[in-house]
Structure 1
Amino acid sequence: MIAFLGTGLLGANFVKALIKKGEQVQVWNRTTAKAKALEADGAKAFASVADAVKGADVIHLTLKDDATVDEVLATASTGFKPGVLIIDHTTTSAAGAIARTQAWKTKGFTYLHAPVFMGPANALESTGIMLVSGNQEVVKKLEPALSKMTGKVLNFGPEEGKAAGIKLIGNLFLVTFTAGIADTLALAKALHISATDVLSLFDSWNPGALLPARVKRMSTGDYSQPTWELNMARKDTGLFLQAAQAAGVPLAVIPAIAAEMDRYIAQGHGNDDWTVIGKDAVS
């Protein structure tokens, strides 16, 4: 039997998918109504988290942060079955994941941090990516069940907390990517170009395809064979800023990038490939 703690958008759909696969699921959420709503799908809801985990062989969590996970597990632990497996899908710090793995091991329980790159629709359809790392015997034991919850399980090896770190890296990219789209649309607005026309550009030209090669190039630390010199990239960045300023449209991330470009140009990197602005990140 499975207990699921945290039934927000992601957790609720995980629960629905597990029930469709024939699993018995007991649920708890801080807002009790969200847990109770899942009884219509076949779950059994509890107002007490300690009661929700009683009899469970496996406990899944999708909560807010480190502090919430620690608080909920501490409260729930009075209802733990001996040897219960704790699988935490919450996005947390790497340090927190490492500390919890050790703390619960000391208490005689197995804790595995398994964050995901999945939205609610993925959770319901059992598609997406789940990340794991740590004790490989534990991972091997749990991987078949975890694979049924998602399209793919990526195992990053025996290092505790590495999955948490990878999840944060991925989320950082999503945040900066979205902020970049916001600036792109802001510049389009400043230039009186519609979002539809912007989308038409990206329907034909997919800059995302450049990502693997760009990461590989930047990780080598060699910027001596430029395809776009930093000086020229900075010139274009100045044009972005000028157009936006003239139209009174604020840009969120481009001003910070311009400042970083200026710093590297001042260090004598103006004729290097513009990706030299990532030099300090990989050196």
Structure 2
Amino acid sequence: MPSTNPKTYEPTAPRKVAFLGLGVMGFPMAGHLALAGHDVTVYNRSAAKAQAWTGEFKGRSAPTPREAASGCDIVFCCVGNDDDLRTVVLGEQGAFAGMKPGTIFVDHTTASANVARELSEVAKGKGLQFVDAPVSGGQAGAQNGMLTVMCGGDAKAFETARPVAMAFSRAFTLLGPSGAGQLAKMVNQICIAGLVQGLSEGIAFGMRAGLDMEQVLEVIGKGAAQSWQMDNRGKTMIAGKFDFGFAVDWMRKDLGLVLDEAKRNGARLPVTALVDQFYADVQEMGGKRWDTSSLIKRIR
């Protein structure tokens, strides 16, 4: 979290909440909940990370998801993948085992639409509510409390969770039933993959042509070619700096979810499939943890 927190929190009644998963996204997201005045209990697979969080924010930690979720109104979660999600949700020590009837589970993991539907059904059987709510905005968005959140699930559960989740969001939107949030995140990643490849090719072409690409981007960034990626990654792509941001490994995981879903629904994604293989090339170059804008490394 930045030393000076610029976020202005919407007034809302304090809630007893849990946050499961304190990675680069979850740590600041849980922090914003605490700063907004909510009663926060955190859980992380590595207890040291949970201890670091309680050292920085007002709140407590619990040794299991079940204990973290006990007595809460809303349980938030942000872990790595489908299997991680099932691990913290299901089983004797999972969050569902500790949640009282009516509690809402809000999952910010970028996972499959299938696991969202699966866990939603399990939740209903236990008298709980489940909202799939993957995020966009990256680590900076999490730190600044300005994430865009795409939700699927019951409208009433969504409306209850929304004012609390706005502690770390700039937009928190219901897009349909269970799974819709995850599907919308897939659309987001499809768009980003193609855009970053196009930006990479444009910058590489301009540099080969001998253009001052910082000047070129400044000019074309005022026209139809403008994008978040151009504004925030163009200069670093020119400079060959990639030791920050959304990692290539994470993008490949997300694109794997996209391509699996496309096999199920029959969508044709030729560019996305190609860019996924380009990211595989970047991994082979040692760029597993480089920012996704490192696609340009393949062609420079």
TM interval, short-chain normalised: 0.5 to 0.7
Higher helix share: 1
Instruction: Give CA deviations for 1:196-225 in whole Å, capped at 9, x if unaligned.
Output: 24323334434248xxxxxxxxxxxxxxxx
Alpha-carbon shift at residue 194 of structure 1 (Å):
4.2
Alignment match, 1:109: 128
> CA–CA distance in 2 between the matches of 1:140 and 1:200?
41
Alignment match, 2:112: 93
Alignment match, 1:185: 203
- Report the residue type matching 1:39 in the other structure: T
Unaligned runs of 5+ in 2: 1-15, 228-270, 276-300
Alignment match, 1:120: 139
- Report the residue type matching 1:92 in the other structure: A
- Residue 36 to residue 101, structure 1, CA distance change in 2 (3 Å): same
Alignment of 1:157-176 (within 5 A): 157=176, 159-176=177-194
Q: Is the 8 A contact 1:98 1:161 kept in 2?
A: yes
Q: Is the 8 A contact 1:13 1:121 kept in 2?
A: no
Aligned residues: 212
- Report the residue type matching 2:144 in the other structure: E
Q: Is the 8 A contact 2:117 2:178 kept in 1?
A: yes
Alignment match, 1:230: none
In the alignment, structure 1 residue 55 sits paired with structure 2 residue 68: no
Q: Is the 8 A contact 1:2 1:58 kept in 2?
A: yes
Query: What is the SS of the residue equivalent to 2:75?
Result: strand
Query: What is the SS of the residue equivalent to 1:2?
Result: strand
Q: Is the 8 A contact 2:220 2:226 kept in 1?
A: no
With CA pairs under 8 Å and 6+ residues apart, which has the higher RCO, 1 or 2?
2
Q: 2:25 aligns with which of 2, 7, 10?
A: 10
Unaligned runs of 5+ in 1: 210-252, 258-283
Alignment of 1:216-227 (within 5 A): none
Q: TM-score, normalised by structure 1?
A: 0.67
Query: What is the SS of the residue equivalent to 1:9?
Result: coil
Runs of 4+ in 1 over 4 A off after TM superposition: none
- Report the RMSD for the aligned CA atoms in angstroms: 2.5
> CA–CA distance in 1 between the matches of 2:172 and 2:160?
13
- Residue 86 to residue 148, structure 1, CA distance change in 2 (3 Å): same
Larger radius of gyration: 1
Q: Is the 8 A contact 1:87 1:113 kept in 2?
A: yes
